[in-house]
Structure 1
Amino acid sequence: MNSTTTKRVAYSGPEFQTIAEQNTVLRGQVGSGLHGVTTGADDRDEMGVCIEPPDYVIGNARFEQYQFRTQPEGVRSGAGDLDLVVYSLRKWARLTAAGNPTVLLLLFLPKHEIVTNTWVGQQLQANPEMFISQQAGHRFIGYLESQRDKMLGLRAQRTNRPELVDVHGFDTKFAYHAVRLGLQGVELLTNGRITLPIPEPDRTWLRELRNGEHSLDEALDRMRDLKDQINRLIGCGAWAKHADPFVINGWLSITYLRWWEEKGLI
């Protein structure tokens, strides 16, 4: 058993499940359904954030995340399956401050996509600017390029969708994700928000791309244009280069202590 497999099994254990279920502060959908670009064959991807007990922060025990999949590891998820990850609030904050495009979606979930919420989640959604910086722009570009390169066969694919290549000549799901990331990166650096689901007319265009109604050249042109827009927005200097760690650390300390007090853990 390799180290990656070992880590995934540990993240799925009953101890971590109990921590996640009893301490989740925000949870909701983060997959294609959230973006409004879904098919009947899609699984459901959810993400959550929890506040781990004091022993896992002050003591030697560690909790970073809990994972659950309807299908066993290595089996491709299908319609009706659930893929769930629940991060510790500290890990989620680190990833979000670094500009991770997936984890920061929780800041902008509409109410109908939220499964669990608390005063902590409400504070996060009310203050997304605490985590936004130029670094997010760089990460959106990196994720866009990763999806593009996988589409072009330049990187190892994490999922295998030969059926899309057979029908359309390229993996249209990789293409859709690359363009989506570009659109959302532009909106984030322009307005400090991400609108979910993706507004029209882009939502229809993305759905058409995913269904093979746009060519590979059209998709690549759109990716290049969106990447250029993000680079210009980074260069304009409207956002700080990095999220302020003192602001985030201060908020985390106050939030953890208040949560533990409310739970009777300290």
Structure 2
Amino acid sequence: MTVPNLLLSGIVGSTAYGLAHVGSDVDRLGLFAAPTTELHGLRGPKESHVTTAPDRTLHEAAKWCRLALGGNPTAMELVWLPADLYEVRTPLGEELIGIRSSFLSAQRVRDAYLGYATQQFRRLEGRGDGSFSADTRKRTAKHARHLKRLCRQGLGLYTTGRLEIRVEDPEEYHAFGERVAADPSAALPLLRHYEAAFDETPAVLPREPDEAAVQAWLLRVRRHFYTAETATSCSSSRTSPRP
């Protein structure tokens, strides 16, 4: 899959967290800019491109901004990756990284991270008493690791204003996953602990994100790709032979 105007792309997921094992998929996430003129037609451009083998998700710039403004944990990772995990990093992508704090707000971060963690817990609840297949047990352990990661990353972002992608002690997460795979109810105390921590710990994040800064960046993207398209179009017109 070739998507034009890629602005920023990198390796995310378990590899980025330091939780990957032999045979783990390598997930990639990125954002691109649709040609500006395409935004004015009868039908807008496709906003996301998703492939497997390789696993890659690319969001159009405006869609990615909406996801990040909502606190979406998966989208948010893209602008907080360690430098060695970026595979595409353009000047406009660098600008986006530079304004990453503008997307943050206390309530949205709390709701998004705890919300996703709760979704993971609901999946665990549906697994019963642990007497299931080896494959299901493996998926259960994975959901448990991500529940713990979401809770810890979310609280860290809420209280420090920074998103730490790599976990400090991967073995701790793997051990937690195995405990929960044996007894899914073991995840509930951790979830309750973080719910209380969010309630009791002051946030350093603002009440609302800085949408003006995000809008200004997005308009720079639109101007850049409109100017480039216009220049190409004019050049083609000048060099095309007359009928």
Relative to the length of structure 2, the TM-score reads 0.83
Determine the C-alpha separation between the residues in 2 that align with 1:43 and 1:165. 17
Match of 1:56, SS state, is: helix
Determine the C-alpha separation between the residues in 2 that align with 1:67 and 1:84. 6
| Alpha-carbon distance, 1:212 to partner | 4.6
| Alpha-carbon distance, 1:217 to partner | 5.1
Match of 2:88 among 90, 99, 116: 116
2:15 maps to 1:33: yes
| Alpha-carbon distance, 1:216 to partner | 4.2
2:168 maps to 1:185: no
Which structure features the higher share of helix residues? 2
What residue in structure 1 maps to residue 28 of structure 2?
Answer: 46
Cα pair 1:182 1:230 within 8 Å, conserved: no
Match of 1:195 among 164, 187, 190: 164
What residue in structure 2 maps to residue 207 of structure 1?
Answer: 174
2:76 maps to 1:94: no
What residue in structure 2 maps to residue 163 of structure 1?
Answer: 134
What residue in structure 2 maps to residue 14 of structure 1?
Answer: none
CA deviation string 1:129-178 (max 9, x = no partner): 11011212111010000000101118xxxxxx9425458xx811111111
What residue in structure 1 maps to residue 237 of structure 2?
Answer: none
Determine the C-alpha separation between the residues in 2 that align with 1:192 and 1:259. 32
What residue in structure 1 maps to residue 141 of structure 2?
Answer: 172
Determine the C-alpha separation between the residues in 2 that align with 1:196 and 1:204. 16
What residue in structure 2 maps to residue 151 of structure 1?
Answer: 124
Q: Number of aligned pairs?
A: 225
Cα pair 1:164 1:172 within 8 Å, conserved: no
What residue in structure 1 maps to residue 215 of structure 2?
Answer: 249
Distance change in 2, residues 1:166/1:196 (3 Å): closer
Cα pair 2:11 2:86 within 8 Å, conserved: yes
What residue in structure 2 maps to residue 258 of structure 1?
Answer: 224
Q: Which deviates further from its counterpart, 38-47 or 83-92?
A: 38-47
Determine the C-alpha separation between the residues in 2 that align with 1:222 and 1:237. 20
Extract structure 1 runs of 4+ deviating beyond 6 A.
none
Cα pair 1:151 1:175 within 8 Å, conserved: yes
Relative to the length of structure 1, the TM-score reads 0.76
Match of 2:110, SS state, is: helix
Determine the C-alpha separation between the residues in 2 that align with 1:164 and 1:224. 27
CA deviation string 1:214-252 (max 9, x = no partner): 86455332222122222334xx35323332333321221
Q: Which deviates further from its counterpart, 25-34 or 203-212?
A: 203-212
CA deviation string 1:37-93 (max 9, x = no partner): 1121311111110011013322233220111112xxxxxxxxxxx211100010000
Match of 2:207, SS state, is: coil
What residue in structure 1 maps to residue 238 of structure 2?
Answer: none
Cα pair 2:16 2:85 within 8 Å, conserved: yes
Match of 1:64 among 47, 68, 89: 47
Which amino acid is the alignment partner of residue 132 of structure 1?
Answer: L
Query: If you compute each CA radius of gyration, which structure gives the higher value, 1 or 2?
Result: 2
CA-atom RMSD in angstroms: 2.5
Determine the C-alpha separation between the residues in 1 that align with 2:83 and 2:43. 34
What residue in structure 2 maps to residue 129 of structure 1?
Answer: 101
Cα pair 2:153 2:165 within 8 Å, conserved: no
